[in-house]
Amino acid sequence: MPTVSVIIPAYNAAEFLAETLDSVLLQTHSALEVLVVDDGSSDDTSAVAASYGPPVRLIRTENQGAALARNTGIDTATAEFAAFLDADDLWEPDKLARQLDRIDERCRFVYTDTISFGHEELTGIRMSSGGLLPSGDIVAKLIEGNFIATSSVLLDLEIARRAGGFDPKFRIAQDWILWLRAARLTRVAAIQEPLVRYRMHSGSLGSDIEQRISDCHGVLDEGLTMVEMPEASKAKLRNRVVANEYLYGARLAAAQRRGALARRCSWAAFSLHPTPYTAKQVIKSLLGPRLTRWLGSG
């Protein structure tokens, strides 16, 4: 039976960690080790993890950030596969079993759709946005934007190591760059059902948009070297991808009632990639949340 190391970085995660661990221990696939890397928490995160006992193992580190915490898990893991899980997300009971069913010699990387919960205005959003998640050779698609949630990934541990783990120079896009590097080493399979519940709360809504954009440029600098296309086409693709990051920032800002930031992000998206859709987002950001709901979510 294939073995799986579940790697959970945790920083001041005591509020949600028990529920997350319970969702792991309810998996129908039981050949697990569960590594909780407490990244220098000041709350009861370690106590929650330690209360479980095997197969949960607590690793304490100084605060070093999520990328290095995950890499500590990768370095420590002993299983054949690594499954990554944020300390506030939840898995459906058959998540790992269904992913392992898709593994073969050519495909060593399987991810699933996700669905958000926990925030009134952002609940029920799927990573797939109603479309199909890509499978196979996904490098070109992945350059266009990150559609793989960290908590949805099952990856051959050796490939995770060969790909360099999570790159700490990217504070927000550390997962995106790893998926790109790993996708060059193996074929990838997508499970279209949302087998992960992604929790949205105040701590997950505070993404620094400027950091997102900086990370996006860094990923594109590397990712665009992986594909053959004219330089003019690469420039257009870069503008479109960065515009999409600004639109994501606008959506988060609107959910937080930060109207000025939502307007700035929407305008930046339109300036980079002027389309009817980005123009509509500018108008919605100017009208405010009540008229935005009247216009709809498109």
> pLDDT digit string (tens) for 60-87?
999 999 999 999 999 999 999 999 999 9
Judged against a pLDDT cut of 50, whether residue 189 lies above it is answered with yes
Q: Which residues are registered as beta bridge partners of 113?
A: 194
Q: Which residues are registered as beta bridge partners of 115?
A: 126, 197
Torsion angle defined by CA atoms of residues 65, 179, 227 and 218, in that order, rounded to the nearest 10 degrees: -10
Is the bond preceding 55 in cis, omega lying within 30 degrees of 0?
yes
> 36, 11 in Cβ contact below 8 A?
no
Tens-digit pLDDT profile for residues 4-36: 999 999 999 999 999 999 999 999 999 999 999
Confidence of residue 39 (pLDDT cuts 50, 70, 90): very high
Confidence of residue 294 (pLDDT cuts 50, 70, 90): very low
